[in-house]
Amino acid sequence: MKAEEPIEEIINQLYKSKSQMICGDAYKTLQDFDDEAFDLVITSPPYNVGKQYEIKESIEDYLSRQEKVIQELIRVTSENGSICWQVGNYVDKGEIFPLDIYYYQIFKKYGLKLRNRIIWHFGHGLHASNRFSGRYETILWFTKNDNYIFNLDDVRVPAKYPGKRHFKGSKKGQPSGNPRGKNPTDIWEIVLQDWENELWNIPNVKSNHPEKTGHPCQFPVELVERCVLALTNENSWVLDPYAGVGSTILASVKNKRNVIGIEKEKEYVDIAEKRLRDLKEGTLKLRPINKPIHKPKSNNKLTKPPQEWQNHSLFNKNGQNE
């Protein structure tokens, strides 16, 4: 996990990143972009579930339209770049169609390689009566090649028990973890949500969330941030072809990346631009990335970082991970 920078430094940097929201159709707009221009394409496409911004069509027609967009997205992704495709279910007469299963076939057809199928678990949502209530969506993370950007150290999360030691073998007695924290795994959940008083990771953006706008299915900035930090470098270019109210724009600019968002609804583009202005002025409410996951009891000695790590730059003088 990266140590926090002073706020003035963060705000200075925000003005250095290039960002643009384009109001238009994704497929048409993509025609103007250069090949391999982006290190990360990250998006949540329309799910064809009849939200206010889409007209529901047959799943076959929907997927064939998306396939054309995906071909363009692959073309504009750099050789060491990634595509993160966040989807849930299409539902027809009570039958669910997990969209990632359908999308996986499309990406494979064009030679992309799946690196993770990330489960994004959230605690709230509609209560179903004829099936179990759905509480997760997925993010398919594909790369174009085997040589791809992956900065694991930038997205590590605090270990629950950093004080654990090897109990046998040549490393017996040495700390067994990593002073930078642990791999966040492919299930993104369980960060203490103060105002809900329950365990979530990256909560889906519902009405009581500090990032909530007028968009019906906005994704949390924290979710995009993790992908941006892990899958791009500073000054990389990021693209969201279905940008909504600009969560990808915020996550990128906040982390010194350049970014373009495409969104067909002017109303959402305006909200995205306002959120970006608020971010730059330091007034946007955001849920911080990597909020502590779980607070074990303070008298548990495994929660104390090992003595050997006390001088590590990631620990402050109280022995806490920064």
Cα–Cα distance measured from residue 141 to residue 319, given in angstroms and rounded to the nearest whole number: 35
- Residue 262's SS3 state is strand
Instruction: List the one residue from 186, 217, 270, 274 that touches ligand SAM (CB under 6 A).
Output: 217
Contact track, ligand SAM, 53-92, x by CB under 6 A: xx--------------------------------------
Question: Which residue number, 48 or 80, has a Cβ lying nearer to ligand SAM?
Answer: 48
Cα–Cα distance measured from residue 166 to residue 162, given in angstroms and rounded to the nearest whole number: 12
Residue of minimal CB distance from ligand SAM?
Answer: 244
Cβ atoms 284, 272 nearer than 8 A: no
Cβ atoms 222, 289 nearer than 8 A: yes
Applying CB under 6 A, the span of 6-14, 91-99, 150-158, 256-264 interacting with ligand SAM comes to: 256-264
Which of 254, 216, 260 lies closest to 242 in space, CA to CA?
260
Instruction: List the one residue from 4, 5, 9, 25 that touches ligand SAM (CB under 6 A).
Output: 25
Question: Which residue number, 59 or 217, has a Cβ lying nearer to ligand SAM?
Answer: 217
Question: Which residue number, 29 or 178, has a Cβ lying nearer to ligand SAM?
Answer: 29
**Residue 144 CB, nearest approach to ligand SAM (Å):** 22
Footprint of ligand SAM on 31-60 (CB under 6 A): 44, 46, 53-54
Q: Which amino acid is at 198?
A: E
**Residue 188 CB, nearest approach to ligand SAM (Å):** 15
Contact track, ligand SAM, 168-207, x by CB under 6 A: ----------------------------------------
4 binds ligand SAM (CB under 6 A): no
26 binds ligand SAM (CB under 6 A): yes
Q: What is the DSSP string of 89-138?
A: EEEETTEEEEHHHHHHHHHHHTT-EEEEEEEEE-S--PPPSSSPPP-EEE
Which are the contacts of 25, defined by CB distance < 8 A and separation ≥ 6? 262, 264
**Residue 219 CB, nearest approach to ligand SAM (Å):** 4
Could you tell me the CA-to-CA distances from 103 to 61, 67, 78, 178 in Å, in that order? 13, 9, 20, 35
**Tokens at residue 101, please?**
């299963």
Binding site for ligand SAM (CB under 6 A): 25-26, 44, 46, 53-54, 215, 217-219, 242, 244-245, 247, 262-265, 268
